[in-house]
């Protein structure tokens, strides 16, 4: 099976997440958007990778969704009204 280039890039970008999450992952609830996420996937303890990226400029996950959740960080796509406004003004 041949993957499209963007899928391969997402796979490579998130390699560190897969390696870190093998046996020790915990779930957290994002303080901003309320989504459940894998603690090891974010640079911030209480924010999912998406909110940490939008609010503070941290690296974002290269999200790939399956069954309503990112397969790398487990974010469900939720966004607070504040984050939505910030994204509209970018």
Q: What CA–CA distance (Å, rounded) separates 72 from 41?
A: 8
Residues 6 or more apart whose CB falls under 8 angstroms from that of 59 comprise: 43, 49, 53
Tokens of 60: 């974002």
75 pLDDT above the threshold of 90: yes
Contact call for residues 73 and 48 (beta carbons, < 8 A)? yes
Its pTM surpasses 0.85: no
pLDDT digits (tens, 9 = 90+) for 22-49: 445 799 999 999 999 999 999 999 999 9
3 pLDDT above the threshold of 50: no
């Amino acid at each position: 099976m041949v993957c499209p280039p963007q899928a391969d890039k997402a796979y490579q970008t998130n390699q560190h997440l897969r390696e870190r999450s093998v046996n020790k992952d915990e779930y957290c609830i994002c303080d901003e958007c309320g989504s459940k996420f894998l603690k090891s996937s974010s640079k911030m303890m209480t924010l999912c990778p998406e909110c940490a990226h939008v609010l503070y400029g941290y690296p974002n996950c290269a999200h790939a969704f399956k069954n309503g959740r990112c397969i790398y960080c487990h974010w469900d796509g939720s966004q607070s009204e504040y984050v939505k406004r910030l994204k509209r003004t970018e």
